[in-house]
């Protein structure tokens, strides 16, 4: 999958990884549609990019708004080649997380992926081709120390991406799960500034990459059509340890958490 000449939609596009992907794809894609809850920021980013790009306001927790985003893109360009479901949030909470925090995290990190797949797959299946890129986080393969809603929802996001690949892979639909670990974005920086244990464990678990580094990994992963796109190679090693010696892996994370507490 090469983005040259493709119609690409990115949610959560106004900052962080989403904005880095937009910058990386700009000038290559036939058209970029950048959706974000902050529509003004998405529009400003689109205006700063070479090539055809538009920024729009979209709340990814609203199935109606996601469907409108896809519908308007199809009206303008007749197709969506690559849909990047990139919006995500953390909660920073454990058992004390409110029902509202659980519901919001579930809506953004999981249901938004369901909504975009429902909206974009019919036209992709009709054409017999299309690509879904879901930003899932290394937490979806490992865990998120100190953040129960984030850990649970990111695991669900990976599971949903796997299901999509199994269900539609033989019908021309490619699926990738982007699972970075520490990335220098406001999400991580704010967590570190607040002294959140989860952010500190993430930073201690490997290199903190720039969002632009992650975007480069996305380009390479799409080109190779890999299901798991792992900007941090160490995540594959941690994932293997988790599967082959789960008790040791859990004990190691407990030790790391205790050392940083």
pLDDT per residue as tens, the chain (261 positions)? 899 999 999 999 999 999 999 999 998 878 999 999 999 999 999 999 999 999 999 999 999 999 999 999 999 999 999 999 999 999 989 999 999 999 999 999 999 999 999 999 999 999 999 999 999 999 999 999 989 999 999 999 999 999 999 999 999 999 999 999 988 877 777 777 777 777 777 777 677 889 999 999 999 999 999 999 999 999 999 999 999 999 999 999 999 888 887
pTM above 0.85, yes or no: yes
Active site residue 150: yes
**Which residue in 150, 168, 238, 239 is the catalytic one?**
150
Q: Which long-range contacts (CB under 8 A, 24 or more apart) does 70-77 make?
A: 70/9, 70/116, 70/119, 70/120, 70/123, 71/119, 72/33, 73/7, 73/9, 73/33, 74/123, 76/31, 77/7, 77/30, 77/31
């Amino acid at each position: 999958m090469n983005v040259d000449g493709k119609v690409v939609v990115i949610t959560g596009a106004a900052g962080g990884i989403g904005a880095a992907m937009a910058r990386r794809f700009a000038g290559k894609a036939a058209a970029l549609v950048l959706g974000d809850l902050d529509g003004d920021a998405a529009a400003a980013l689109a205006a700063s990019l070479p090539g055809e790009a538009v920024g729009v306001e979209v709340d990814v927790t609203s199935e109606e708004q996601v469907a409108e985003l896809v519908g308007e893109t199809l009206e303008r360009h007749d197709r969506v080649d690559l849909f990047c479901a990139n919006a995500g949030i953390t909660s920073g909470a454990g058992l004390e997380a409110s029902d509202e925090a659980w519901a919001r995290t579930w809506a953004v990190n999981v249901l938004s992926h369901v909504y975009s797949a429902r909206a974009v797959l019919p036209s992709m299946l009709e054409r017999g081709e299309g690509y879904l890129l879901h930003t899932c986080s290394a937490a979806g393969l490992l865990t998120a120390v100190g953040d129960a809603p984030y850990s649970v929802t990111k695991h669900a996001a990976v599971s949903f991406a796997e299901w999509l690949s199994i269900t539609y892979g033989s019908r021309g639909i490619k699926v990738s799960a982007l699972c970075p670990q520490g990335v220098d974005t406001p999400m991580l920086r704010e967590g570190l500034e607040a002294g959140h244990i989860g952010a500190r464990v993430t930073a201690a678990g490997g290199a903190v990459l720039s969002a632009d580094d992650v975007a480069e990994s996305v380009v390479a992963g799409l080109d190779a059509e890999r299901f798991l796109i792992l900007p941090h190679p160490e995540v594959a090693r941690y994932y293997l340890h988790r599967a082959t010696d789960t008790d040791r892996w859990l004990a190691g994370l407990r030790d790391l958490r205790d050392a940083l507490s």
